[in-house]
A and B are shown apart, each in its own frame.
Chain A
């Protein structure tokens, strides 16, 4: 976890393939606090950067279970406990008839967890980030690719890191301060 934004070097790459090679190079060199930016998800980048799998699935699973059991509980309590009404001769606790609502609630809660969980894991919304200060950042959501290396990375040495990035194909290197 970065305590305070104190940023490092950012540079630009012209294609997904070079970006991927550069990320692999950084990973192999032992860097951990670096990040790649691309206008679309680049497949295989997680491995290239050495990232672990996303934990989102577990969050969603919890949401789904909550939605399902909450809906069942609500229907059981309102229909079979609090105010019993005989309807078309069906049992008060007609689990068959409770399937649709339970299913919908399960999906609804799972979807909320998927979206808000994703935002939380990504630390969004967060309208300011130092990488935005990079002068060519605006192209990175359109057609170019970036790599940034954080100053807090144990291997970070401004001169050498910059040189390494350039060797890996980085262009327009800038040191970005928070």
Chain B
């Protein structure tokens, strides 16, 4: 077909088709439903077994923690916050891409999002679950977590609403709930499709129950689209607020290196950056294994890589501003905090952060590199590493406070490291289950951006 010869980079009057190949509505349904309806491939069983055993590692580390208390972690006196908060911020950050893709790109009418939003929303949920583990267990006594909730209790006291840590509780639970609702609302029409295609009674009943009796009537779609738009409009400021509130944990303090006004937008940009990188890492593999290359095309991947480049540059800007203002402030403690980051005992972590976050995405300036699967996979892994280290660097600001006699050094124990690794087990296990049991691409939405979906374009639309 002629549409394959057009170079969209050289002809601005044409738009890249979002579904490649010779697909119609039926074939799109078939492609997306295939992984759910066919028996799981052997690699899926192997991968699930592997990540399941890593999940067991997490569970045993948590069990050990509840038994022993947090003495088994590497925390010490100046560094009273360690891997727990680093992992929390890391995972919540990963969880920002999904809502960004579903909400903000939706509001900006970036139609390429339709192929990846389901996938990244699922990733959001699982990442937030991983994140929530850490604040829940970080005292070593999860059975007293209910103290955080404003419920009348025998001590007649209330949680401290002036504390950033309490805002976190509200932010995370709201974020998780709203993301879950958003994801589920998006799923309802697709669940109905699965229901109507079901070959067995069990599938029909289970998918049917979750589809809530959706029948694709236009009176449904009308309210549905309104709800989706409102959820997007709510989720867009929500996603900004969540990582801003995470940044408040640090920025409301008086600690040099933590207290800086640019933290909220800088954290948000970093979160989007890491989230997109994680989407790339997973999507590159998933589209290959599930044969979704017509739906998640190189164009989609390239768009995501451009977002990574843009947010990576914003993060670089924030690093630069912090450094400049630390000097410009004329405040010697402020200046020390930053010089210590770059040249102190944790300089190794700082330079890992800089090279992964600021330098590695710069390769995406070149079209050849940002459209190369191996390159984008490697860079996305680097970005994930870099963003974990960014939070590590920020938290390790603690190791040298105002009193040189109390300076120290934090070393993670094997329990710290195993818990971090184990959280990946939880994440991947949930993700593999998702890939097997739910449609990984939003069918109804992808169909909606196909040319044939435009009722004004005549019978066949264009591009076929």
Interface-lining segment among B36-44, B218-226, B345-353: B218-226
**Residues of B within 8 A of A (CB-CB), count:** 73
8 Å CB contact of A51 from B29, B185, B218, B454: B218
Docked pose: A43 CA to B174 CA in angstroms: 31
Query: Which residues of A lie under 8 Å from residue B256 when comparing CB positions?
Result: none
How far is the CB of B395 from the nearest CB of chain A, in Å?
A: 21
A142 touches B25 (CB 8 A): yes
Given contacts A37-B217, A122-B220, contact A138 B197 (CB under 8 A): yes
| Chain B residue, CB-CB nearest to A142 | B29
Which B residues between 5 and 39 are near A, CB-CB below 8 angstroms? Answer: 24-26, 29
A118 touches B150 (CB 8 A): no
How far is the CB of A124 from the nearest CB of chain B, in Å?
A: 5
Docked pose: A71 CA to B458 CA in angstroms: 52
Asked if B215 lies at the interface with its beta carbon under 8 angstroms from chain A, I say yes
Given contacts A78-B150, A142-B196, contact A41 B213 (CB under 8 A): no
Given contacts A44-B455, A141-B196, contact A114 B227 (CB under 8 A): yes
How far is the CB of B177 from the nearest CB of chain A, in Å?
A: 6
Which B residues between 161 and 185 are near A, CB-CB below 8 angstroms? Answer: 161-164, 166-167, 170-171, 173-174, 177-178, 181-182, 184-185
Query: Which residues of B lie under 8 Å from residue A132 when comparing CB positions?
Result: 215
Interface size class of A (residues with CB under 8 A): 35 or more
Given contacts A17-B457, A40-B445, A79-B162, contact A51 B25 (CB under 8 A): no
| Chain B residue, CB-CB nearest to A118 | B227
8 Å CB contact of B444 from A40, A114, A129: A40
A100 touches B452 (CB 8 A): no
Interface SS majority for chain A: helix
Asked if A4 lies at the interface with its beta carbon under 8 angstroms from chain B, I say no
Interface-lining segment among A103-111, A153-161, A170-178: A103-111
A85 touches B160 (CB 8 A): yes
Query: Which residues of B lie under 8 Å from residue A39 when comparing CB positions?
Result: 25, 29, 189, 193, 216, 443-444, 447
Asked if B394 lies at the interface with its beta carbon under 8 angstroms from chain A, I say no
Query: Which residues of A lie under 8 Å from residue B171 when comparing CB positions?
Result: 100, 104
Asked if A19 lies at the interface with its beta carbon under 8 angstroms from chain B, I say yes
| Chain A residue, CB-CB nearest to B171 | A104
Query: Which residues of A lie under 8 Å from residue B223 when comparing CB positions?
Result: 54, 56, 118, 121-122
Query: Which residues of B lie under 8 Å from residue A137 when comparing CB positions?
Result: 196
Given contacts A41-B225, A54-B222, A56-B227, contact A74 B162 (CB under 8 A): no
Which A residues between 109 and 142 are near B, CB-CB below 8 angstroms? Answer: 110-112, 114-115, 117-119, 121-122, 124-129, 131-132, 137-142
A43 touches B193 (CB 8 A): no
Docked pose: A95 CA to B185 CA in angstroms: 34
Query: Which residues of B lie under 8 Å from residue A163 when comparing CB positions?
Result: none
How many A-B contacts if CB must be within 8 Å? 211
B162 touches A90 (CB 8 A): yes
B26 touches A142 (CB 8 A): yes
8 Å CB contact of A43 from B162, B178, B454, B459: B454
8 Å CB contact of B224 from A41, A57, A104, A127: A41
Docked pose: A56 CA to B181 CA in angstroms: 16
Query: Which residues of A lie under 8 Å from residue B217 when comparing CB positions?
Result: 35-37, 131
Docked pose: A99 CA to B459 CA in angstroms: 52
Docked pose: A121 CA to B21 CA in angstroms: 38
Given contacts A43-B454, A78-B158, contact A104 B241 (CB under 8 A): yes
| Chain A residue, CB-CB nearest to B163 | A87
Asked if A164 lies at the interface with its beta carbon under 8 angstroms from chain B, I say no
Which B residues between 226 and 255 are near A, CB-CB below 8 angstroms? Answer: 226-227, 230-231, 234-235, 237-238, 241, 245, 248
Asked if B378 lies at the interface with its beta carbon under 8 angstroms from chain A, I say no
A41 touches B221 (CB 8 A): yes
Interface-centre pick from A15, A41, A78, A140 (highest chain B CB count, 10 A):
A41
Asked if B403 lies at the interface with its beta carbon under 8 angstroms from chain A, I say no
9 interchain pairs, CB-CB under 8 A? A17-B458, A35-B219, A42-B453, A54-B223, A97-B161, A101-B167, A112-B181, A119-B212, A127-B208
Interface residues of A (CB under 8 A from B): 15-20, 23, 35-46, 49, 51, 54, 56-57, 60, 74-75, 78-79, 82-83, 85, 87-88, 90, 94, 97-98, 100-101, 103-105, 107-108, 110-112, 114-115, 117-119, 121-122, 124-129, 131-132, 137-143
Interface residues of B (CB under 8 A from A): 24-26, 29, 150, 156-164, 166-167, 170-171, 173-174, 177-178, 181-182, 184-185, 189, 192-193, 195-197, 208-209, 212-227, 230-231, 234-235, 237-238, 241, 245, 248, 443-445, 447-448, 452-460
